[in-house]
Each structure stands twice: as structure tokens, then as C-alpha cells.
């Protein structure tokens, strides 16, 4: 018998929500590998998982067919008890051997702390994998975590994302025996719901994929995705068009179909008079169609639908989809025209009827707060010499920003909030600056999502996000774990990206305090305490760290070092982090960082500062040349570095500081800081304290962890 064999597991389900399949496959792999290695069954080969709407599949090309045998020594009674004077085994020995299931002759002596004893060597035979798998696999299936689960066999039954209807579980060509929710694991899979056979015996991973393919199931998502892309590209180019690229939608249709096929449909060109954002949203949101563009980038009166069939030879599917889209567009046009009759600003009154959050009042109140905060921010930019912002524009954009929430269009397509407001603002004669700002003010919605196009939009967006953050924190709606119903992480991420992206030098703590004042001013009289402001700031800084790591590839210790020297102005902090990153590669820097750590430790050990710190370093107390040299060098470098720092030439400043390395090294080579004589010791400590303070204003080098060799 071979030592390893392939494992195939397929969990056959009723349609799993498209957005959850990929995540579940990841979890399935982790769980299966965890259990298999705990059971000593996992060899060199890892587990591969993939899925489609109706199945989650796991394959391991080489699983051990049997656990390794394990030897175990069991210590029994003392030798003196086990054998009589003549060396014959006693009753005690006999019963010990019987209990361990070994012949009495195989007992042997071992020395133990309680003296010499008899022992038995037990061999625990590894169990066959097939047997263990029968226990492991149902457990693994039951442990796959899902966002929302259901019962289908009754309240005592398993919870899963959707009912499980069949299971394939095979080791080599043998079926693994187990049963889950009255479903018996077997060797028979099912093809495409309409095009394939309902009962397809397989012999293992080797023919699983090919048999499914013959039955119109492309089990691997990558195959499905490529098929869709290929077919869409072909259909588009035949008409001289291009697919409006949409990666999220592509991912969605990949997991919505087992055998995806792209078809092209048409719609009445008269609908092209509607804004393209609306047309695309209608096509994408409900219908999951891709839009097409002509050579000039204008929307074409066609769409691509991805269907779960091999072909549409009679054009029935195409006609059906065209008909549905016609009705959807007719609806959208009705809403667009109905909303257009009403001026955006007239909606302001209605906003006081729309709750923002029960404890935080209405959207009407939010608009007032955001206006005040946005004006405050705009004044900050002006005070800092930032050009291209007009307080009146910012105020107008903030005033109109939420007015689209009560339009029919946004009620129907909530993902178009902001966009619809911007479009109406433009159509109703607002300036391009204001219309753009309204349009963009929910952006950025993620790490790589687009930013507001102008500073007016960035200002309103920042004010809106800060207001949401401070308000929610003040009433205790703080995100925990995976629960973040008000999308506060996204709001904070957006705020940080706007500040960094626009290069807006701003005191974060002042901005948060300004947002907090807004809540005290309005009718709710909500007082935001210092502690809350602090939490919001920490939350923002935490998101800033995330941005530094994710979008600039900065290292955590570089970020920690720079932020330890201050984070209130994130733009400035970013400059300092980049400087640390640039300089740390130079020869002197890392060793110097090690010395900084040493200094910090020495100072910590020296106890409270008031016990030893002198008003100033006293050169007459120096005993070593190295002390004098360090002091002199530090004073000289401090002056130069300060000049660079003031001009925000952080790299040059750090370069200067790094050149102190020889003096620092000499100091530690030659000087014992904790000298016997009190005055000398205090003087040395004071020197080091001043040194550390002086050179930690750009970054705290002690935070840097030495690069691994």
C-alpha cells in the first residue's frame, strides 16, 4: 500500500451567496490543514480549496494514509514488588503486563526517582486516515464560519450558510464514511443544475475537475473568470467597443455562475440622455450587467450580461434581459425627472425629518454641524496659506451635500448618494466647484478608492467624516471586532487619506475639538469629553498607521519611531517617517539606534528624574575625554540639526544626528555611566537625558528594531 493518497472533499450546497464563497474557501483550507496536521496526516502537500455557488471543494494531493505509530513507555510497580527474590514475576507484574497488553517477558527495568521500577513499551498503532477523516471532516464542515447562518433540518440541526445537499469525501478511490444532517458522504458529485447530470461518480481528484467540466461546471473560479473576460472582450471588440472595467462586478459574476457565458444586449439609445452614473448603477446594481463604452469613452447603448448557461441560441435570454433593463431604465427616468422638478436646496427642510442616528439627531442637524466644521477647516487652510479654497463655496457644498438623501433616485439607489446630489447641483446651476464637491464628498471610501477632485470637496468630506466619528464615539458607538455598523473605520481612513493626500498641515487634536464643539452647540447639547476626543484621535492615528504601511510600504518600527515624536500634524509625521526610512539604510544609523535604546534603558534604571537630574550639564564634572567630546559634538549637531528641522529637511537633520555615532560609541566604550561618585553620575545621566531629548524630536530612534541580518 502506498504511504500517501489524494483527498477530495466537496460540500454540495444550495446556492451560496456570491460574496461569501471565496472567504469560505480560505477558512476551509485553514481548518482542514489545522485538523489534518493535528492528526499527523498532513505530509508535504498542502490543501487547495476553491468554490462555486453550489460547491466548496478541498483537494490534498498526498495525504498520509495512516498515522505514524507512536511508542510510549509506561512505568509500573517497583522492581522489588514486581519480582520476588528468585526473580520470578509476582501478581503485581502479571496484572501490570495484562493491563498494558504486553507479554510479561517484555517488561524491563528503568530507574526512576522512586527507585528502580518495571516498565512496558507500548506501541500506539497509527489509525488509518480514512477512519480519522470520518470524524474530522464533519467537524471541519461545521466549523466553517459564515456571516449569517440558518437552520434547515430543525432547531437542533447544524447551522450553515445554506442547506447542504450532498457531500463527496474520498481518500484515493475509497469513500470516507460519515453523515451530516442526514446527508451521507459518497463518491458522486452533481453537474450544472440544468445542463449537467445529477449524479456523477468520480474516482478522486484526478477526474473530478474534468468530469465536472463535461457537465458544465467550471469548478475553479479562475477558469470561470477567464471565460467571462475572454467572451466579454470578444463581444465588445466585435462592435468596436470596450468593456467598462469593473473588477468587483467581475468577481461577483465569477461566483454567481458555475458555467458563465457572456451575452450582449441592446437598449434604446434615448436613455443615453440620462447621466451615465445612473445608467451604470442601474445596470450594475440590480442586474449585474457590464456597461460598454465607445472609442471616445462615451457610454454605448449596449450591455453585457453574464448568464449561467452555455449558449442562448434562440436569443430568449437576451430578450428577457433587455426587457427587464427597459423597465429599470423607465423607472430611473421617472425618478430623475421627478427629482429634477424640485430644487436641491428645497430638500433641506425635509432633512430634519431624516434621522442620522437616534442619539445624534437628524440629518438637518448634521448638515448644520458639518457646515460649521467645514468653514472652520477652510479657515485653517487659508491661515496656513493653502490656496484654491473659498469659504463660501465650502459652505454651499456642505449645505447641499446631504440634500439628495430625500430624492427618489437615492431612495432607489442608495449607492448613488452624493453622486445624484452632484448631478442635480450641476443641472440646477451651482458652480462646477460646488457640484463636484457635493458629488465627491463621500470619497474616499477605501484605501485605493478615488479622492475628492477639488479642495472644496476634500474639506466637506473631511468635515463630514470627523463629525460622524466624534458623534458616534461620544454616544458609545465604537467599532468592535468585525462589527462597525456606522463604517467608522472607513470614515477615519477617508479622513486620514484626505489630510495626507491633500498635504493639509492641520492640528488633528484641534480639528477633533472643533468637531466636538459642534455637538455642544446644537439642540442635543451633547457634551463630548476629553476622553472621547482622545479616543477619536487614537482611532485616527491608528488608521494613519494603516495607510502608511499599506500604501507607502513603511515599516511599523519606522512609523512608531516618528509618531513617538509627535502625530498631531499627520503630514509632518509622514515626512519624518519617510526621512527615517531613507536614513536608516545608511551605515551609522542602526548602531546609533541601538545606543539610543541603551540610553533609554540606563535612564529608566536610574529611577525618577528628580532624584538625579541636574539643572544643566556641568563640564567641570567630566572625567573622561569621551564625555567632553560627546557633549561638544551634541551641542554642535543640535544646532545644525535644528536648522534643518525647522526647514523640514528631516533627512539632512537625521544625517547630522547619525554622524554622532563615533562619539556615542566612544562614550560607551570608555565611560561607566553609573559612577561611584554621585555628582559625576548625576552629570552623566543629565548629559544622556538631554541628548535623548534633543535628538528624539524627529523620531524616537529607540523604537527602531535592528534590521535582521
Segment near another protein (CB under 8 A); pick from 76-84, 151-159, 510-518, 540-548: 151-159
Compute φ and ψ for 214, nearest 5 degrees: -65, -20
**Dist. CA 696–CA 689, nearest whole Å:** 11
Site string for another protein, 46-85 (x = CB under 8 A): -------x--------------------------------
Candidate segments 60-68, 192-200, 532-540, 618-626, binder of another protein by CB under 8 A:
192-200
Stretch that binds another protein, among 313-321, 537-545, 558-566, 698-706 (CB under 8 A): 313-321
The dihedral built from the CA positions of residue 40, 43, 46 and 50, taken in this order, carries a sign that is negative
Give the pairing of strands 174-175 and 179-180: unpaired
Position of cell 422638478? Answer: 341
Does residue 34 bind another protein (CB under 8 A)?
A: no
Position among 80, 194, 529, 534 found at the interface with another protein (CB under 8 A): 194
Q: Which stretch binds another protein (CB under 8 A): 322-330, 428-436, 512-520, 605-613?
A: 322-330
Give Cβ neighbours of residue 683 (< 8 Å, ≥ 6 apart): 614, 617, 618, 621, 622
Supply the minimum distance, in Å, between the C-beta of residue 415 and another protein: 17
- Cell numbers at residue 22, please? 471565496
State the binding string over 337-356 for another protein (x if CB under 8 A, else -): ----------------xxx-
The answer to whether 338 and 408 have CB atoms below 8 angstroms apart is yes
**Binding residue (CB under 8 A) for another protein from 86, 111, 156, 483:** 156
Pick the binder of another protein from 326, 343, 534, 639 (CB under 8 A).
Answer: 326
Residues 359 and 355: their CA atoms lie apart, in Å, by: 9
Residue 425 CB, nearest approach to another protein (Å): 24
Q: Cell for 149?
A: 447562518
122 sits in which H/E element: strand 115-124
Q: Which of 180, 317, 541, 579 binds another protein (CB under 8 A)?
A: 317
Nearer to another protein, 213 or 598 (CB): 213
> Residues 236, 239, 245, CA angle at the centre, nearest 5°?
25
Assess 503 for contact with another protein (CB under 8 A): no
Asked if residue 257 binds another protein (CB under 8 A), the reply is: yes
Q: Rg of the chain over CA atoms, in angstroms? A: 35
User: CB within 8 A of 28, min separation 6: which ones?
Assistant: 49, 56, 58, 140, 144
Is the CA virtual torsion 673, 677, 680, 683 positive or negative?
Answer: positive
Residue 306 or 372 with smaller CB distance to another protein: 306
Handedness of CA 200, 205, 211, 213 (dihedral sign): positive
The C-alpha atoms of residue 313 and residue 331 are separated, in whole angstroms, by: 30
Task: Pick the closer one to another protein by CB: 257 or 459.
Answer: 257
Report the candidate in 71, 46, 72, 40 with the shortest Cα–Cα distance to residue 59: 46
Q: Determine which residue in the list 165, 293, 453, 624 makes contact with another protein, applying CB under 8 A.
A: 165
In whole angstroms, what separates CA 684 from the centre of its chain?
Answer: 47
Nearer to another protein, 164 or 474 (CB): 164
Tell me: does residue 139 bind another protein (CB under 8 A): no
Residue 152 interacts with another protein (CB under 8 A): yes or no:
yes
533-572 residues in contact with another protein (CB under 8 A) are none
**280 interacts with another protein by CB under 8 A:** no
Q: How far is the CB of 647 from another protein (least distance, A)?
A: 54
- Determine which residue in the list 24, 305, 425, 435 makes contact with another protein, applying CB under 8 A: 305
Binding mask 669-688 for another protein (x = CB under 8 A): --------------------
Q: Does 327 bind another protein (CB under 8 A)?
A: yes
Does 313 bind another protein (CB under 8 A)? Our answer is yes
Nearest to 580 by CA among 700, 660, 673, 471: 700
Q: Which own/partner pairs from 403-407 qualify as long-range (CB within 8 Å, at least 24 positions apart)?
A: 403/344, 403/345, 403/347, 403/348, 403/351, 404/344, 404/347, 404/438, 405/347, 405/351, 405/354, 405/363, 406/347, 406/350, 406/351, 406/353, 406/354, 407/335, 407/339, 407/342, 407/347
Considering only 34, 61, 127, 162, the residue that binds another protein (CB under 8 A) is 162
The one among 58, 176, 256, 547 contacting another protein by CB under 8 A: 256
Nearer to another protein, 68 or 266 (CB): 266
* Cell numbers at 230, concatenated: 475572454
Q: Is 301 in the site for another protein (CB under 8 A)?
A: no
The CB-of-344 to another protein minimum distance in angstroms stands at 19
Minimum Å distance from CB 347 to another protein? 13
Write down the least CB distance from residue 307 to another protein, Å: 4
Q: Please tell me whether residue 153 binds another protein under the rule CB under 8 A.
A: yes
> How far is Cα 583 from Cα 601, in angstroms, rounded to an integer?
24
Q: From the CB of 325, what's the least distance to another protein, in Å? A: 7
- Residue 177 CB, nearest distance to another protein (Å)? 20
Question: Residues binding another protein: what is the number (CB under 8 A)?
Answer: 52
Residue placing its CB nearer to another protein in the complex, 185 or 492: 185
| Ranges within 8-27 binding another protein (CB under 8 A) | 14-15, 17-19
DSSP-assigned letters across all residues of 77-108 = EEHHHHB-TTS-B-HHHHHHHHHHT--GGG-E
Inter-residue contact 540 to 492 (CB < 8 Å): yes
- Indicate whether 330 belongs to the interface with another protein (CB under 8 A): yes
380 close to 466: Cβ distance less than 8 angstroms = no
CB 539 within 8 A of CB 532: no
195 is a site residue for another protein (CB under 8 A): yes
Question: For another protein, which residue of 128, 320, 501, 591 counts as binding (CB under 8 A)?
Answer: 320
Please confirm whether the linkage preceding 336 is cis (ω < 30° from 0): no
Does residue 386 bind another protein (CB under 8 A)?
Answer: no
Instruction: Find the part of the chain contacting another protein (CB under 8 A) among 80-88, 306-314, 659-667, 697-705.
Output: 306-314
Looking at 114, 148, 525, 709, which residue binds another protein (CB under 8 A)? 148
Counting contacts by CB under 8 A, is residue 375 touching another protein?
no
239 binds another protein (CB under 8 A): no
CA atoms within 13 A on the CB side of 379: 10
* Residue whose CB is less far from another protein, 66 or 224: 224
Query: Using an 8 Å Cβ cutoff, are 265 and 302 in contact?
Result: yes
Q: Which is nearer to another protein, 186 or 494 (CB)?
A: 186
Within 8 A by CB and 6+ apart from 320, the residues are none
Binding site for another protein (CB under 8 A): 14-15, 17-19, 53, 148-156, 162-163, 165, 182, 193-195, 256-257, 287, 305, 307-309, 312-327, 330-331, 334, 353-355, 358
Amino acid at each position: 500500500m502506498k504511504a500517501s493518497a489524494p483527498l477530495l472533499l466537496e460540500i454540495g450546497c444550495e446556492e451560496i451567496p456570491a460574496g461569501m464563497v471565496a472567504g469560505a474557501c480560505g477558512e476551509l483550507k485553514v481548518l482542514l490543514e489545522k485538523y489534518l496536521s493535528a492528526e499527523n496526516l498532513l505530509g508535504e502537500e498542502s490543501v487547495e480549496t476553491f468554490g462555486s455557488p453550489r460547491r466548496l471543494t478541498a483537494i490534498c494531493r498526498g495525504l498520509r494514509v495512516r498515522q505514524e505509530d507512536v511508542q510510549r513507555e509506561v512505568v509500573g510497580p517497583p522492581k522489588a514488588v514486581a519480582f520476588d527474590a528468585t526473580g520470578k514475576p509476582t501478581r503485581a507484574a502479571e496484572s501490570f503486563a495484562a493491563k498494558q497488553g504486553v507479554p510479561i517477558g517484555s517488561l524491563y527495568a528503568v530507574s526512576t526517582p522512586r527507585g528502580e521500577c518495571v516498565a512496558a513499551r507500548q506501541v500506539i498503532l497509527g489509525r488509518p486516515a480514512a477512519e480519522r477523516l470520518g470524524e474530522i471532516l464533519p467537524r471541519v464542515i461545521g466549523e466553517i464560519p459564515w456571516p449569517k447562518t440558518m437552520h434547515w433540518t430543525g432547531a437542533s440541526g447544524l447551522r450553515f450558510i445554506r442547506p447542504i445537499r450532498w457531500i463527496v469525501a474520498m481518500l484515493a478511490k475509497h469513500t470516507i464514511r460519515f453523515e451530516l444532517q442526514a446527508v451521507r458522504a459518497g463518491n458522486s458529485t452533481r453537474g450544472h443544475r440544468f445542463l449537467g447530470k445529477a449524479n456523477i461518480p468520480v474516482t478522486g481528484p484526478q477526474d473530478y475537475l474534468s468530469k465536472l467540466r463535461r457537465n458544465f461546471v467550471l469548478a475553479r473560479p479562475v477558469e470561470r473568470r477567464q471565460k467571462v473576460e475572454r467572451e466579454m472582450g470578444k463581444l465588445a471588440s466585435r462592435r468596436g467597443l470596450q468593456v467598462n472595467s469593473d473588477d468587483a462586478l467581475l468577481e461577483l459574476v465569477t461566483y454567481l455562475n458555475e458555467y458563465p457565458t457572456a451575452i450582449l444586449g441592446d437598449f434604446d439609445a434615448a436613455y443615453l440622455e440620462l447621466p451615465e452614473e445612473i445608467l451604470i448603477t442601474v445596470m450594475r446594481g440590480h442586474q449585474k450587467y457590464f456597461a460598454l463604452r465607445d472609442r471616445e469613452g462615451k457610454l454605448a447603448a449596449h450591455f453585457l450580461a453574464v448568464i449561467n448557461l452555455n449558449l442562448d441560441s434562440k436569443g430568449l435570454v437576451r430578450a428577457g434581459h433587455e426587457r427587464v433593463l427597459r423597465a429599470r431604465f423607465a423607472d430611473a427616468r421617472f425618478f430623475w425627472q421627478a427629482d429634477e422638478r424640485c430644487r436641491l436646496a428645497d430638500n433641506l427642510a425635509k432633512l430634519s425629518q431624516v434621522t442620522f442616528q437616534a442619539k445624534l439627531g437628524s440629518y438637518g442637524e448634521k448638515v448644520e454641524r458639518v457646515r460649521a466644521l467645514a468653514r472652520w477647516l477652510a479657515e485653517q487652510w487659508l491661515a496656513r496659506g493653502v490656496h484654491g479654497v473659498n469659504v463660501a463655496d465650502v459652505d454651499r457644498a456642505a449645505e447641499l451635500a446631504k440634500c439628495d438623501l430625500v430624492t427618489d433616485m437615492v431612495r432607489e439607489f442608495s449607492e448613488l448618494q452624493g453622486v445624484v446630489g452632484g448631478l442635480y447641483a450641476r443641472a440646477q446651476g451651482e458652480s462646477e466647484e460646488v457640484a463636484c464637491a457635493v458629488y465627491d464628498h463621500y470619497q474616499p471610501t477605501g484605501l485605493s478608492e478615488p479622492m475628492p477632485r477639488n479642495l472644496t470637496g476634500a474639506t466637506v468630506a473631511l468635515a463630514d467624516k470627523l463629525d460622524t466619528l466624534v458623534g458616534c464615539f461620544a454616544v458609545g458607538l465604537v467599532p468592535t471586532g468585525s462589527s462597525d455598523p456606522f463604517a467608522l473605520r472607513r470614515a477615519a481612513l477617508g479622513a486620514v487619506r484626505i489630510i495626507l493626500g491633500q498635504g493639509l498641515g492641520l492640528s488633528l487634536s484641534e480639528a477633533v475639538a472643533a468637531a466636538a464643539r459642534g455637538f455642544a452647540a446644537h439642540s442635543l447639547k451633547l457634551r463630548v469629553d476629553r476622553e472621547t476626543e482622545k479616543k477619536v484621535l487614537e482611532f485616527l492615528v491608528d488608521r494613519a498607521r494603516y495607510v502608511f504601511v499599506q500604501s507607502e510600504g513603511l515599516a511599523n518600527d519606522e512609523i512608531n519611531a516618528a509618531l513617538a515624536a509627535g502625530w498631531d500634524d499627520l503630514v509632518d509625521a509622514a515626512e519624518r517617517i519617510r526621512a527615517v526610512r531613507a536614513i536608516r539604510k545608511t551605515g551609522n544609523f542602526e548602531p546609533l539606534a541601538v545606543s539610543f535604546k541603551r540610553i533609554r534603558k540606563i535612564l529608566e534604571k536610574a529611577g525618577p528624574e528628580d532624584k538625579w537630574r541636574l539643572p544643566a550639564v556641568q563640564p567641570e564634572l567630566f572625567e573622561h575625554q569621551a564625555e567632553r567630546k560627546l557633549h561638544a559634538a551634541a551641542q554642535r549637531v543640535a544646532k545644525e540639526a535644528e536648522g534643518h528641522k525647522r526647514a523640514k529637511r528631516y533627512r539632512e537633520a537625521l544625517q547630522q544626528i547619525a554622524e554622532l555615532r563615533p562619539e556615542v560609541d566612544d562614550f560607551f566604550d570608555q565611560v561607566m555611566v553609573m559612577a561611584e561618585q554621585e555628582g559625576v553620575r548625576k552629570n552623566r545621566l543629565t548629559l544622556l537625558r538631554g541628548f535623548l531629548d534633543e535628538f528624539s524630536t524627529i523620531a524616537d530612534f529607540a523604537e527602531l528594531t535592528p534590521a535582521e541580518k
